[in-house]
Structure 1
């Protein structure tokens, strides 16, 4: 993650961090057992968007109302981290589905591109299908992507040109949202499938 990306994310999550830190002394002094609360509870992350799927059909944030949602922003021409994150996320999700099929049936994994110039609906559909039939790929106009990224506290920008084409600089985060669309936690995709599976088991009810 670039310095710019980390700075952007820190700015968006700073209010939440202050709230969490403010509660630490009370938790430490209390004799009552600590209540397990979602780490992203109350964060201003997520919100309305209108994008399109592989068939160019409109999809909105409300399309997933009543379902848990895994959300990741990346791009299909990404040479390393995006496919690795998606692989570990979906393998972790698959393991979770084996153990908890009823709960997993209520979860929708979503991939949203930050590179609409190259990521057409067809390309996004082909790319996401490599990680399993449950992963939904979304794209849109540059304006629609910008609006969605802003709502989800995602920093991105076009990077330098390479022999294989330009790269995209973007925040590397896998979010988990509850059925009401509220942020719950960040899935540890960078720690592997087992860590993802454990986090899903912790929160998905």
Structure 2
């Protein structure tokens, strides 16, 4: 299994995949009136993350300020996802379980977050039932279509509804990155649903300050 986080030197597979996702997101957002995606800022860093206002699976309104001072592991997906979403969330759960066993003080600083890209179906009740299958501290966040579009734009997360005339429902095409954010709300690195939990754990253990 190849290494999938962003390394300290050179361009890793994770960077390539992330930039490819940003290109897709840029195309999608550029088609929206008044919206333009800036892929890289003048400092040469990928500008990922920013303000948001959503509702958690307990019905409480949350913003980025509620997570100030804590690390975040954020994944965008949907509860009807047949494969990559549950895989990614399970990898996050396993990595956090390992961190809790090795360094409980570090684990408490990391908040696992699942943000839906399908607010039409993923209401508060659906999110509560879904995240209950994963880590006990995982937060499921939903909102209006406009709120979801706003937070996806901040994180350069691509998503698009895919209708199938032969099916009775629809799927969501979406990027599959787990964003690791610092206590200051800055992008640190990313993982994918294919990242082994041992690798994710190692990165968290190295990055999170005890």
Give me the TM-score of the superposition, normalised by structure 1. Answer: 0.81
If each structure's helix is expressed as a fraction of its own residues, which one has the higher value? 1
Classify the secondary structure of the residue corresponding to 2:96: helix
Classify the secondary structure of the residue corresponding to 1:187: strand
> In the alignment, is residue 15 of structure 1 matched against residue 40 of structure 2?
yes
Q: Of 76, 97, 102, which aligns to 2:100?
A: 97
Aligned residues: 181
Q: List per-residue Cα deviations over 1:41-63 (Å, max 9, x = no partner).
A: x4211111100011221010111
> Would the aligned equivalents of 2:78 and 2:117 in 1 still touch at CA under 8 Å?
yes
> Would the aligned equivalents of 1:188 and 1:196 in 2 still touch at CA under 8 Å?
no
Which one has the largest radius of gyration? Answer: 1
Please list every run of 5 or more consecutive structure 2 residues that lacks an aligned counterpart in the other structure: 1-16, 28-36
Classify the secondary structure of the residue corresponding to 1:15: coil
Provide the residue aligned with 1:33 in structure 2: none
State how far apart, in whole Å, the 2-side matches of 1:164 and 1:79 are. Answer: 15
> Would the aligned equivalents of 2:112 and 2:138 in 1 still touch at CA under 8 Å?
yes
Q: Of 151, 163, 167, which aligns to 1:163?
A: 167
> Would the aligned equivalents of 2:85 and 2:193 in 1 still touch at CA under 8 Å?
no
State how far apart, in whole Å, the 2-side matches of 1:15 and 1:201 are. Answer: 28
Q: Of 155, 173, 177, which aligns to 1:173?
A: 177
The Cα RMSD (Å) is 2.3
Structure 1 residues 189 and 201: alpha-carbon distance in aligned structure 2, compared to 1, 3 A threshold: farther
State how far apart, in whole Å, the 2-side matches of 1:188 and 1:154 are. Answer: 13
State how far apart, in whole Å, the 1-side matches of 2:205 and 2:192 are. Answer: 13
Please list every run of 5 or more consecutive structure 1 residues that lacks an aligned counterpart in the other structure: 20-41
